[in-house]
Structure 1
Amino acid sequence: MAVARLFYDSCIPINVINSIYFQPIVDAITAIGLGYKISTYHNLCVNLLRDARKEKQLLIDGYKKTWDDVECTLMAGGWTDNSHRSLINFLVYCLKGVCFVKSVDALDVVKDVATLFSLFEEIALWVGPNNIVHLVTDNRANYKATGRMLSKKYSSITWCPCAAHCINLMLKDIAEMSHIVNLSKRASEGWTEIIRPSATNFATTFIALSSLHQHKHDLQSTVKDKTFVESRYAKTNQGKAFISIVVDNRFWDDIDIISKVVSPLMHMLQIVDSDERPSIRYVYDGMYRQGWGSKSY
C-alpha cells in the first residue's frame, strides 16, 4: 500500500510501474534497509540530473564507437502530437541498442522534399554517412523520395519503408472498403461505439470486430434471456436494432470471414511493431516458409 499511496497522492501515471528502472530502485532501497534517506528536491533537479546527463552521454559515446565498427540503421518516424505539430523523431539502431538523436518540428518541412532531404542529410552527417547502411522511414511519397535521394548521394545507405507503416496502410485500404465500412457501422449500432480507429493505427477496426466475434454466444444468450426480453430496453427502437444485429448469422459470418482474411496481416503487424526484438529475421523466415523467397540471408 505504501507504493500505491505514493502513486495516488502524487497522481503518478500507473504505467510507471512498468518502467525498467522501477524494480532496480526497489532493490536498491531494500538492500540499504530501514533508514534510507531519499534524495532531496535540489539533488534531483541539479546534481543527480547533471550526473544522469553525463551517464547518458557516455552511453551515446559508446554507441558511436559501435557505429564505426559494425555500422547502423537510421530510423525516422513522423507523427503528430496533441498540439497538432508535425514532428519527426530520429533514432539510430545498432547491436548495442537504440539511441534517440533528436526530435524536429517539421510542420514546414514535410511538404517540401528538398527541405526534408536537407534535414535527413544533416542527421546522416552527424551519425556519419559511411556508418549508416540502412535508412527506415514512413512510406509516404515525400519520405520515399527523400530516402531515395539520400541513397543516391550516399551509396552505403539503403532505404526501405517501415514495415509496420506499410501494413497499417494495407489495413487502412481494407477498412475503407464499402463492405467493411457498413459492417463496422452495424457493429456500432445498438450499443456504445466500440470501433474508434486512431489516426495512425487502422488495425483498431479489425481488433474490435474480432473481439466482438469472440463474444457472439454471450450476446446471443443475452438477447434470448427472459430478463432482457421483458425489459423496457428490448422494446425500444435501439433495443430492437441491437437484437436484430445480434441474431443475424450473416453479420457474424461476415465478421468471421474478415477476421480470417486480415489475420496474417495482424500477426505480421504484431511482429514488426514489437519493441522486444529485431523483427526482420522473422519476416524473412515467414516469407521463406510461405515460399516467397530463398533462405540465403
Structure 2
Amino acid sequence: MLEAIGQFGCALPPPTRYEMGETYLKKEVDRTTNLLKPYKEEWKTNGCTIMTDAWSDRKIRSIMNLCVNSKLGTIFLSSTESSDEAHMSEHIYEYVEACIKEVGPENVVQIVTDNASNNMGAAKLLNEKRPTIVWTSYATHTITLMLEGIAMLPRYQKVITKAKALTVFIYAHHKTLAMMRNFTKKRDIVRPGVTRFASAFLTLQSLADKKAQLKQMFTSDEWEKCKFSKTVKGKSAYNTVLNTSFWTGVALCLKVFAPLVKFLRMVDADWKPSMGFIYSEIKSAEEEIKNALGNNKKDYQPVLDIISKKMRNRLDTKLHLTAYLLNPFYLYNNSEILDDINVSNVIVDLVGTIYPEDHNLQNHIVTVELPV
C-alpha cells in the first residue's frame, strides 16, 4: 500500500471521513464475515466449543471474552466490560447463553471455563436450561491446581521455599548474579513456564542441572571475598547449596511433579486435541508418582488424594471418558476398555444427554454403532 501511494505521488487524495467510516468499514466487515463462513459451516458439521476468558485491564476493569473453537481453529466472538457484575454466576450464564443462541444451540458441544466458583455456579444454571451442553473446566487450570496443592504438602513446600529463597538472593544483587552467571557460563537459573507453577518447576530443574557449579561458586575464594557472604541471607544460601538433604529434596520434587508437568504441557499445546488423552494420562501420572515414591502408600496417598479431589467432576466427566473410549490410541492397544463398567455406563449417560428424547437413536448408538 505504501509503495502504491509513493508511486502516485504527494497529490494522492486521502479517503474522506465518510468513506473510512462507512464505505471501507462496511467492505472490511463483509470481508471478515466471508472469512468466517467456513468456520460456521464446520460448527454445523462437527460442533464447536465456546471458551470464556475473564481478565482485568490496566484500569482494573473486568473484561470477559468469548471465543469459539472448532476443528478449523479458534475465532473471537465477543467481549464485554462489566466490572460491577463480572463475578456473578448469573451474569456469566446470561452472557454465555447469548453466545449459544448466536452460534446455534444445536452446534455447541461444550462450554470451557476455569474452575472459579462463579463459573461453577454458571455451569449449574446452564445445565438446568440446556442439559445437552456440557460445561467443562480448563484442563490447564485444573492440573495447575493439582500441582499447587501438592506443593503445599510440608515435605515439598520446605524444599520449594528454600529454592525460592536461594534464587531470590542470587538475583537480588548484581554481584551475586554476575558471579552465578560466571560459574554457570552465562546460563540463568530462573526459567519462564506456561504457568506460575511450571516456572517454579523449571527453576527447580535448572537448579538441579547447575548443582555442581553452584557448589563451586559458594566454596570459591570469590564468594569468601563477597560482602554478601557475611549477611544472614548469604549464610542461609550457603547452607542451602551445601546441604545434601536439600538436593535430595529437589530430586524428589522433580520426580513427583514431572509426570503432571509433562501432562500440563500436553494439554496446553495446540498441536492436537487433548481431551481423548486426559483420563489415561492422569492415571499414568499417578502410577509414575507411585513409583517415584517407592510405592510407599504413606508417601504417595496424600499426593493422589489431591489429584483425585481436583480431578473430580472436572477431568473425569462423561465427555472425557467417552473421548477416552473412542480414542483408537487406547482402544486398539487394550480392548478391555470396553469391559470397564464405569466407562461403558458413561457412554450410555452421554448418549442420553445428547439425544434425550430419541430413545431409538440412543439404543442404536449403544447396541449397534459402539460395538462397530
TM-score (norm 1): 0.74
Taking structure 1 as reference, are residues 269 and 246 closer, same or farther at Cα in structure 2, changes over 3 Å only? same
Instruction: Quote the residue 1:192 is aligned against.
Output: 171
Which one of the candidate residues 195, 201, 210 is aligned to 2:196? 201
Cα distance between partner residues in 1 of 2:157 and 2:281: 30
Structure 1 pair 238/140, CA: closer, same or farther in 2 (3 Å)? closer
Inter-partner Cα distance in structure 1 for 2:26 and 2:138: 35
Q: 1:69 to 1:222 in 2, by over 3 A?
A: same
Task: Please say if 1:255 is aligned against 2:250.
Answer: yes
1:296 aligns with 2:311: no
- Seen in structure 2, the aligned counterparts of structure 1 residues 231 and 112 have a Cα distance that, compared at 3 Å, is closer
Compute the displacement of 1:80 (Å): 2.8
1:88-132 deviation digits (Å, cap 9, x = unpaired):
221111122211111222422333222221111111111111110
CA–CA separation in structure 2 for the residues paired with 1:255 and 1:133? 42
Q: Does 1:274 align with 2:253?
A: no
Gaps of 5+ in 1: 1-28, 30-35
Q: How does 1:213-292 map to 2 (within 5 A)?
A: 213-284=208-279, 286=281
Cα distance in 2, alignment partners of residues 160 and 210 from structure 1: 32
CA contact (8 A) 1:132 1:156 kept: no
Q: Distance in 1 between matches of 2:46 and 2:24?
A: 33
Report the Cα offset of residue 148 of structure 1: 3.1
One-letter amino acid of the structure 2 residue matched with residue 97 of structure 1: G
**Which range moved further: 232-241 or 63-72?**
232-241
1:68 correspondence with 2:44: yes
Distance of 1:106 and 1:197 partners within structure 2: 32
Structure having the higher Rg: 2
Q: Which has the higher helix share?
A: 2
Q: 2:3 maps to what in 1?
A: 37
Distance in 2, matches of 1:201 and 1:147, equals 26
Give the TM-score, by structure 2 length. 0.60
Q: More displaced, 155-164 or 274-283?
A: 274-283
Cα distance per residue 1:54-106 (max 9 Å; x no partner): 43221222211221222211111222333323222211111222111112224
Distance 2:171 2:27 in 1: 50
Comparing 186-195 with 130-139, which one deviates more in the overlay? 186-195
- Higher relative CO (Cα under 8 Å, sequence separation at least 6) belongs to 2
Count of matched residue pairs: 261
Residue 155 of structure 1: aligned partner: 131
- Of stretches 273-282 and 45-54 in structure 1, the one that deviates more from structure 2 is 45-54
Summarize the Cα distance change of 1:70–1:85 in structure 2 as closer, same or farther, 3 Å threshold. same
Structure 1: how far apart are the matches of 2:253 and 2:246? 11
Q: 1:180 to 1:106 in 2, by over 3 A?
A: farther
* Residue 191 of structure 1: how far off its partner (Å): 1.8
Q: Which amino acid aligns with 1:209?
A: L
Deviates more, 1:184-193 or 1:118-127: 184-193
- Residue 216 of structure 1 deviates from its aligned partner by 1.0
| 1:71/1:133 contact within 8 Å kept | yes
Secondary structure in 1 matching 2:132: coil
Aligned partner of 1:130 in structure 2 is: 106
1:145 maps to what in 2? 121
Task: Work out which of the residue numbers 102, 116, 120 in structure 1 matches 2:92.
Answer: 116
Residue 196 of structure 1 and its aligned partner are, at CA, apart by 11
Taking the aligned partners of 2:219 and 2:267, their CA distance within structure 1 comes to 42
Q: Is the 8 A contact 2:63 2:86 kept in 1?
A: no
Q: Which moved more, 1:74-83 or 1:95-104?
A: 74-83
Q: CA separation in 1, counterparts of 2:229 and 2:126?
A: 62
> Is 2:80 the counterpart of 1:85?
no
Alignment CA distance shift 1:172-1:88 (3 Å): farther
1:235: Cα distance to partner? Answer: 4.1
Q: Provide the secondary structure at the position in 1 that maps to 2:112.
A: strand
Q: Percent identity?
A: 28
